[in-house]
Copies of this chain bind each other. A is one copy, B any other.
């Protein structure tokens, strides 16, 4: 016991030596306690974790030293960015773990206009990067709700999505190169700004989306694009989801990838919106479904507004779209965008909602919502389904608000588990994903165990073991644990 205390003290001293006294917090130390909260707490304040220390390195070299030191002490490390994740990926309950927060690694190392790339450190705030690119008359398209506080390292660790995926792809597709500290404290240098590089396995894609379980991303080279200086917004009503998909395909044939956003909004969301906010639906009368879409171009001369009207006339004439309104000015555009943001907020006024971040092939969305709603109503007759979001990517934020008059705790207790099983089974039957953009963290380990292809899980375990044999990199995240015995039985490595 005495020996262990000495070891922990040694570790604390070593970590302090690496980053300096001002860049380390110890939750157990009274004067640090308040400062630690925002790093220990889950982003929505639902739980508070533990840690031995929170360190704030300022360089890749310091991250490498921290990891090597923790490895020597057999101490788990938990990388953390802006701590805005939805699946507890940057949290830990282990009071012996060290949280490595990357916020001090916030330098922009290079912006190369001719190559249309920028190389930045992991701790840069997403919005700062968008702004920096804009100043160079370029555009970095990754955009999501938490962009004012999330960090690019965390965005890559979770392969973040957001509202521009339809046109530009997820974080993985926006990244050309990564620098990462491996589990043994060495530095992988794959910080290329290359569009083509077929020299071996795609380590970049492997680190992206691995949620810190294989190493810590310390810097990245990102793709930049011409700015979307010309853009138009429309809000349309459709009678069903299939018509929304037809509308998307027609728009894409006409505008190509200029369709950068295409978001589904259900009648239920408009009802909540009008009840709980100052906003009203831009389309009169009630319709079953709405879509907000955006067309964007880097060429100011493209007559997007007129072209969009022509296409909308055609879509209305053939009956695909019931009615439509287009934004006539900048404030109307903002109004449409605000509606999309607000439909997330107003839900909260109607009590607890059980949430799913799922995807299916775009052709199966109508089927998903039909089956999902029926299954949910069979479980809880007055449940209020609330499916919305990135229909162009097949990614629905499929929420279910509690029936009127049921308290939150009862709703959760009686229906959450049954609903999860029903919805995930439907997703599985449609070859969909139970986590489209939020990742796994420690929150969706049960779903990983149950729904993920067992061969895929086996290969993931092999990679994890090969990269991190002591299981010290963000342990108990992404990969569900095997019982000790079956882990040995399962090993087919020799």
Are A257's CB and B257's CB within 8 A? Answer: yes
> Which residues of the partner chain B approach A298 to less than 8 Å between Cβ atoms?
252-254, 256
Are A206's CB and B202's CB within 8 A? Answer: yes
Q: Which of A111-145 contact B (CB under 8 A)?
A: 112-117
Complexed CA–CA distance, A254 and B193 (Å): 23
Are A199's CB and B258's CB within 8 A? Answer: no
Residue A431 CB within 8 A of the other chain: yes
Closest residue of B by beta carbon distance from A479? B200
Complexed CA–CA distance, A200 and B187 (Å): 23
Complexed CA–CA distance, A363 and B118 (Å): 12
Q: Which of B161, B190, B440 contacts A453 (CB 8 A)?
A: B190
Are A393's CB and B359's CB within 8 A? Answer: no
Closest residue of B by beta carbon distance from A213? B201
Are A188's CB and B440's CB within 8 A? Answer: no
Instruction: Assess A440 versus B198: contact at CB under 8 Å? Given A114-B362, A361-B117.
Output: yes
Are B200's CB and A448's CB within 8 A? Answer: yes
Complexed CA–CA distance, A170 and B205 (Å): 14
Q: Which of B201, B361, B436 contacts A206 (CB 8 A)?
A: B201
Are B394's CB and A196's CB within 8 A? Answer: yes
Are A359's CB and B200's CB within 8 A? Answer: no
Q: Which of B189, B194, B359, B364 contacts A197 (CB 8 A)?
A: B359
Instruction: Assess A456 versus B200: contact at CB under 8 Å? Given A361-B115, A362-B116, A466-B462.
Output: yes
Closest residue of B by beta carbon distance from A112? B363
Closest residue of B by beta carbon distance from A215? B459
Are B195's CB and A453's CB within 8 A? Answer: no
Are B460's CB and A195's CB within 8 A? Answer: no
Residue A232 CB within 8 A of the other chain: no
Of A166, A249, A456, most buried by chain B (CB within 10 Å of CB) is A456
Are B456's CB and A245's CB within 8 A? Answer: no
Are B115's CB and A362's CB within 8 A? Answer: yes
Residue A66 CB within 8 A of the other chain: no
Q: Which of B203, B205, B433 contacts A459 (CB 8 A)?
A: B203
Closest residue of B by beta carbon distance from A459? B203
Residue A186 CB within 8 A of the other chain: yes
Instruction: Assess A200 versus B452: contact at CB under 8 Å? Given A194-B361, A361-B117, A462-B467.
Output: yes
> Which residues of the partner chain B approach A361 to less than 8 Å between Cβ atoms?
112, 114-115, 117, 193-194
Interchain Cβ contacts under 8 Å between A and B, 5 examples: A195-B359, A199-B433, A200-B452, A201-B214, A201-B478
Residues of A within 8 A of B (CB): 112-117, 158-159, 161, 165-166, 169-170, 172-173, 182, 184, 186-203, 205-206, 208-210, 214, 226, 245, 249, 252-258, 297-299, 301, 359-364, 390, 392-395, 431-440, 444, 447-448, 451-453, 455-460, 462-463, 465-467, 469, 478-479, 492-494
